[in-house]
Amino acid sequence: MTVKHKASLTGVMRSQSVSWKEKWRIIKAKLARFLFGFNDRKGFLLKVVIYTLLLCIGFVYLYPMLYMFITSMMPLSDLLDSAVRWIPSNLYTENYQQAFSVMNIRNSLFGSVVIAFVPTLFQVVVASLVGYGFARFDFPLKRLLFGLMLFSFIIPPQILMMPTYRLFSELGLTGSLNAFWIPAALGQGINSTIFILIFYQFFKQTPKSLYEAAEVDGAGPFISFFRIAIPMAVPAFLVSFLFSFVWYWNETYLTTLYLTSQSTDITTILLQLQQFEQNYETLYPAAENNASRINEGIKMAGTVISVLPLLIIYFFLQKHFVESVDRTGITGE
């Protein structure tokens, strides 16, 4: 074998070894990109961690709802059978029929909707006006008034309940829905400060050039509010409306304090849920060890009924709600 032939063979071997090393380097780089990601792309390991956390958090939130719904569909025989846990032997709807009658669903649903919707409507309108005023205008004692508003939110509401109740009693507001409507219309609804801050921050971030251009065209403050501020603040309106509606819907202490403290026919779903067992025993009297006695399935049916309206509202507004939360990050000048 000549020297020239040996040299060419060595070059081929070296080129083959380099190519394999290059291939292995490329494989490792692709594997690292797949596992750990690159640039703005998330890697497989990070996605596994994120989805695992989301599944765990989702399970924590969904498990009570699933357990509540499945238990509400079980007859007494399934509840007493330890072998039946997640799948009922049959779809038992009589629990819901009894729960509907016990909770007086027509009157209680109407009361809940009225108590939640009307004050929410007043509260969102007033909060938007106050937030717009603080964000767009300079006036005397502005910082002092803004600080007093924040201070009113810091004070625990339990401290103000009895003085507020006495004031409402002297004004004749207790025992009627005016105890909720009038404070909301005056900017003193449930957590009104939060909504004022939401609108304040949103209007503060809105570009000033839009209002200046409107002023050049002869638009006044109210025209600018209705023509410019409101269309741009739709996300803030939707978020504030949903949160306010849920808070008014879930409020039971103030409802009990203002409505049931005096003789009134107004009731809500949650008030009926609080008195569920007592009302059931009154409506369906039963002897000891009788099958018609209240059980876990009937209680869970009443609980499902109490949260079902909120779930329906969120189901239809979920897309708009998520978009509203994303769009609240408008950059201003």
Question: What is the mean pLDDT for each group of 10 consecutive residues in the chain (333 residues)?
Answer: 46 53 72 69 78 88 87 84 78 86 87 90 92 87 87 82 86 85 88 89 82 78 82 85 90 83 75 86 68 79 89 78 55 40
Q: How far apart are CA 321 and CA 314, in angstroms?
A: 8
Same structural domain, 66 and 104: no
CA 29 from centroid of its chain's CA atoms: 43
Task: Determine if residue 285 is left, alpha or beta; phi over 0 gives left, psi from -120 to 50 gives alpha, anything else beta.
Answer: beta
Same structural domain, 59 and 207: no
Same structural domain, 33 and 158: no
**Within a domain: residue 333?**
no
**Within a domain: residue 81?**
no
Same structural domain, 280 and 203: yes
Question: What is the predicted pLDDT for the residue at 120?
Answer: 93
Task: Determine if residue 191 is left, alpha or beta; phi over 0 gives left, psi from -120 to 50 gives alpha, anything else beta.
Answer: left
Question: What is the predicted pLDDT for the residue at 12?
Answer: 43
Same structural domain, 140 and 27: no
CA 44 from centroid of its chain's CA atoms: 31
Question: What is the predicted pLDDT for the residue at 322?
Answer: 63
Question: Which one, of 50, 48, 55, 92, lies nearest residue 72 by Cα?
Answer: 92
Same structural domain, 311 and 232: yes
**Within a domain: residue 148?**
yes
**Within a domain: residue 11?**
no
CATH number, domain at 178?
1.10.3720.10
**Within a domain: residue 7?**
no
Q: How far apart are CA 246 and CA 314, in angstroms?
A: 10
Same structural domain, 62 and 196: no
Same structural domain, 34 and 144: no
Question: What is the predicted pLDDT for the residue at 122?
Answer: 93
Considering its fold, how many domains does the chain have in total? 2
Same structural domain, 179 and 112: yes
Containing structural domain, residue 45: 18-72
Give strand pairing partners of 37: 42
Same structural domain, 312 and 210: yes
**Within a domain: residue 286?**
yes
**Amino acid type, 92:** Y
Burial of 145 (0-12, 13-18, 19+ CB in 10 A): middle
**Within a domain: residue 281?**
yes
Same structural domain, 136 and 184: yes
Question: Which one, of 79, 144, 63, 121, lies nearest residue 293 by Cα?
Answer: 79
Same structural domain, 118 and 51: no
Contacts of residue 192, defined as CB under 8 A and 6 or more positions apart, other chains included, come to: 123, 126, 127, 184
Question: What is the predicted pLDDT for the residue at 331?
Answer: 41
Within 10 angstroms of residue 33's Cβ, the number of other Cβ atoms is 14
**Within a domain: residue 165?**
yes
